[in-house]
Structure 1
């Protein structure tokens, strides 16, 4: 049996794993059973990236959500009637907390009546079998897979199977969800599901989608890794008109969306996390007239701050352009100071939308992928090992070190450590003492101090060999070589001295 907890710990990001442990501990403290359900379990089984964490609790999740959000959550949406909470934590992790429930639909296109139910009934009421699985996080059953509708088998056969015959009638937004899952996962609807889908479209069930449900589905499409494929699949089924009647004819700005998607993936690969919804909505409505754009956003039942952000995206991008265009001097340090307060999602949008402005591109690109990563590689550990205690001085040293890195003053590792010691007020480290000469082995005669006169200087010492094994005694060292004597010269015969008598005799003959 697979170890699903180990699989989760291996696949979740550090931030997601921290959030999962927080939810698990908070539910345990409150005495509530908690389960990881839906898309996170499906993506865990298929090996797809796990984007959001959806939890079902047997009890009221709203108080738990408030406690988890604390004071630093980016977003917290509570729905008292449906007993659901959606929140975005400070580190960007998206969570959904829901009470285990059953839903009863009295009329198409109207909100359902909600009643508490055990977790197994909650799973059976869902749309497709692949989304109806859960993993228990409750002590005593932690790691247990819940699969009441045999969704694991449908994952293996790569099929989307509707759980109820009236599912599209009760909640028509599932028509859009079927198209999205089929596009993302590459699954095909099984025969009965496909027949029900075609029947629902023929009867115009899509006209009864609730605005809130349509807005949530539009956000999910915007967060897809390949939202273009999802939008084109909806266009093939003439379902883009549910967002706005003119959108089916005018079409989204696919070229702009493709360029933005490229920079978004680049930023996410570098570890940045941001909400892509505002930028994706910009390209979705870009080809519509101004009045039609506002109507489209109202059709999605977005909140006022979300509409304001979506409509003001281009205006905020132009502010960034002016800010960087005015920067004449200052170099990397000033660029870093100017762009640090700007949201990453807005910078990615500027990269995509104004790619023809090379100087602006270069500054933003260097900030995101060169300057800002330096902040995460500050030598905190090295400074601690040098004995500098945490405090204002510690932070000041790191800040000066970071500024020196931005200015390009620190090249190599030795240069960085030298600069760090200087900032910490530490003396230069003493040079290591020279190694002592090795004592000769027992029984070996000392080597001569000098060679013969005129001999070549001794060669560099070879590296010492490891000592011989104890079983064999070491051989005695050979005696030192004696200097070679030059060969003796042979004495040359001396010329014989001429006697005085012979010289006189010669003189007489000449006379």
Structure 2
């Protein structure tokens, strides 16, 4: 199943979508099923402009009148016989009817109306492309009901009636078929054409009722090309049925063409306007007052007739405002035209004769709107005036008004205007955390373990203390050269004497001589690790066997050393050299 909900949302205007959501919510609150039916579904599928919204409710829509009026709509017509409400919402019109069945006793007579299901309601309609419904209910949202395959006739561009007695039961369908053929450029299906010709020869049109005549007259005013529709109706003889004195030649074609051009411009600027009252004013402009009064009397929608009568007065009042002191500046003219009724503005642009008024309306539709492209200024971003600013909308509006009056032409003027709205500077960002030894937190030592400061210092032999050369440390501190400190002669003799005495007691004469030679030898450069701890390496003891190393270790401990470095013996392990030794 195609996603018809997405198609509906993409085809309807924002005002029409709000109307759909409003009616859908009200019907759900009363526990009634609601469907979008008739011409709205047809126009959604064909791509033609969607003029009206038709809703069908399984229940009595008259119970929804209070909620509809509370939502802001105006109910301008109530038909208790057919249980139909006609409401005017903001920017759209809607007809809310009851799902019903109709039984015709005689041609042209009002039918017997009974409540019915949605399928029975679709079966009573005129043509197949109007007998479709789109569900707006939770359980079947987006389901398209098309029992007579109207979508196929739309694709084939055919007008097809539902049954053979369609023109006999409701003769107004003859006028409607001609109007649809002129609007869409479609042809009647073969069987439909045969029934149409038979109904015209049988003069079924004489049974049409007055309510249907008034409805068809109003529908001409809602057409995109009303002159073409009038000409088609006149050629078939149906225009005389609507009004005997009415012809396409009695329409004011030049002013109507100007009106339609202005309507297109307003639609491109997203200015919602109902042009039907003004269109009706021009297509009946050459009729007499009595004939116009007769037409106004039979039109069922009284709100439409009131708007038609009020057009000239509203346009005259708007023209006076545009010539007053209030409109002396461009900003004042913009405010007047922005708050005026769109219908009055449309009619004034088509019928105005004052050059000053026409020039202001022309600038309102064109030149002045181009100034809006300059907003927001680049300087607003520099001053941190963004959409999050609490007064951003008012700042843009005031800046636009000043642009209209020519008071913001240079960058200096723009900066002077924006300076008072500059927000205070944001607080500086927090300093990043320092990384290194100073930033590392000291971890507390476990209980019972002494810290490094409480541990006893290790005794260092004075003969092996080292220091760094100051000159080379200053040049390359990471690669300092270690120099052993010279031991004074007296201290050296004392160490050698002690070492000889200890070696004489615990070792053999040969190993004792080795220990003494080691003690007399010059101390070697310590490693970096020993430099960090300020501990000098002990003199190495050269041993030739495992037993001798152990004895030399005892000798070194007695002399104040903590460890002995084992020197490798080049001759140890070689059989011949070992025997020679």
Alignment of 1:496-511 (within 5 A): none
Supply the distance in 2 between the matched residues of 1:386 and 1:302 (Cα, whole angstroms): 44
Instruction: Kindly state the Cα deviation for residue 212 of structure 1 after the two structures are TM-superposed.
Output: 2.6
Take 1:296 and 1:220, find their aligned partners in 2: how far apart are those partners?
A: 13
1:277 corresponds to: 276
Q: Which moved more, 1:46-55 or 1:156-165?
A: 46-55
Partner of 1:120: 119
| Distance (whole Å) between structure 1 residues aligned to residue 160 and residue 244 of structure 2 | 30
Aligned residue number for residue 408 of structure 1? 406
Q: Which residue of 2 aligns with 1:361?
A: 358
Q: Which residue matches 2:331?
A: 333
Do 2:315 and 2:344's aligned partners in 1 also have CA atoms closer than 8 Å?
yes
CA contact (8 A) 1:104 1:113 kept: yes
Question: What does residue range 336-351 of structure 1 map to in structure 2 within 5 Å?
Answer: 336-351=334-349
**Cα distance in structure 1, aligned partners of 2:26 and 2:300:** 32
Q: 1:352 aligns with which of 345, 350, 372?
A: 350
Q: Is 1:9 matched up with 2:17? A: no
Q: Is the deviation greater in 399-408 or in 30-39?
A: 399-408
Hey, what does 2:451 align to over in structure 1?
Answer: none
Distance 1:43 1:173 in 2: 21
Residue 58 of structure 2 corresponds to which residue in structure 1? 58
Equivalent in 422, 442, 448 of residue 419 of structure 2: 422
- The TM-score with structure 2 as length reference comes to 0.65
Q: Distance in 1 between matches of 2:142 and 2:337?
A: 44
SS of corresponding position for 1:18: helix
The 2-side partners of 1:371 and 1:66 are apart by 42
1:86 maps to 86
Change (3 A) 1:3 1:301: closer
Rounded Cα–Cα distance in structure 2 between residues aligned with 1:250 and 1:151: 36
Per-residue CA deviation, residues 350-377 of structure 1 (Å, 9 max, x unaligned), is 21223x5432211122234455798999
Question: Is the contact made by 1:215 and 1:301 (CA closer than 8 Å) also made in structure 2?
Answer: yes
Partners of 2:327 and 2:86 in 1: CA distance: 44
Computing the radius of gyration from Cα coordinates, the structure with the larger value is 2
- The alpha carbon displacement at 1:234 in A equals 0.8
Structure 2: runs of 5+ lacking an equivalent: 428-581
Cα pair distance change 1:242/1:290, threshold 3 Å: same
Contact 1:101/1:115, CA 8 A, preserved across alignment: yes
Deviation at 1:410, TM superposition (A): 3.8
Measure, in 2, the Cα distance between the counterparts of 1:386 and 1:427: 16
Number of residue pairs aligned between Structure 1 and Structure 2: 423
In 2, are the aligned partners of 1:37 and 1:54 still within 8 Å (CA)? yes
The structure-2 alpha-carbon separation of the partners of 1:333 and 1:153, relative to structure 1 and needing over 3 Å to count, comes to same
- SS of the residue corresponding to residue 247 of structure 2 reads helix
| Cα displacement string for residues 395-428 of structure 1 (whole angstroms, at most 9, x for unaligned residues) | 764553342233233459x789746643425469
The equivalent of 2:208 in structure 1 is 209
Is the contact between residue 326 and residue 332 of structure 2 (CA under 8 Å) also seen in structure 1? no
1:162 Cα offset (Å):
0.9
Q: Counterparts of 1:202 and 1:258 in 2: how far apart (Å)?
A: 36
Question: Which runs of structure 2 are paired with 1:481-500 in the superposition (5 Å)?
Answer: none
- Higher RCO, Cα 8 Å, sep 6+: 1
Does residue 179 in structure 1 map to residue 167 in structure 2?
no
Q: Report SS of the residue matched to 2:78.
A: strand
SS at match of 2:77: strand
Shift of the 264–117 alpha-carbon distance from structure 1 to 2, 3 Å rule, reads same
Cα distance, 1:246 vs. partner? 0.9
1:376/1:205 Cα in 2 relative to 1: closer, same or farther (>3 Å)?
Answer: farther
How far 1:133 sits from its partner (Å)? 0.8
Task: Check conservation: 2:160, 2:188, Cα contact below 8 A.
Answer: yes
Pair 279,423 (structure 1): closer, same or farther in 2 beyond 3 Å: farther
Q: Aligned runs of 1:95-494 on 2, under 5 Å?
A: 95-248=94-247, 251-301=250-300, 303=302, 306-326=304-324, 330-354=328-352, 357-369=354-366, 371=368, 385=386, 388-389=389-390, 397=395, 399-410=397-408, 418=415, 421-424=418-421, 426=423
Q: 1:88 to 1:299 in 2, by over 3 A?
A: closer
Q: Distance in 2 between matches of 1:361 and 1:351?
A: 7
d(CA) in 2 for partners of 1:384 and 1:101? 58
CA distance in 1, matches of 2:106, 2:254: 40
Q: CA deviation at 1:322?
A: 4.2
Asked if structure 1 preserves the Cα contact closer than 8 Å seen for 2:266 and 2:273, the reply is: no
Q: Distance in 2 between matches of 1:17 and 1:11?
A: 9
Moved more, 416-425 or 174-183: 416-425
Range moving further from structure 2, 223-232 or 320-329: 320-329
**Worse-superposed segment, 238-247 or 253-262:** 253-262
**Alpha-carbon offset, residue 122 of structure 1:** 0.6
Partner of 2:525: none
Shift of 1:107: 2.9
Give, in angstroms, the shift of residue 127 of structure 1.
Answer: 0.2
Contact between 2:255 and 2:282, CA under 8 Å: does it hold in 1? yes
Deviations for 1:260-290, whole angstroms, at most 9, x for unmatched residues? 1121122112111122222111112111122
CA distance in 2, matches of 1:377, 1:163: 57
**What is the distance in 1 between the residues matched to 2:145 and 2:168?**
27
Does the CA contact (< 8 Å) of 1:35 and 1:136 recur in 2?
yes
Question: Would you say the 8 A contact 1:228–1:258 is kept in 2?
Answer: no
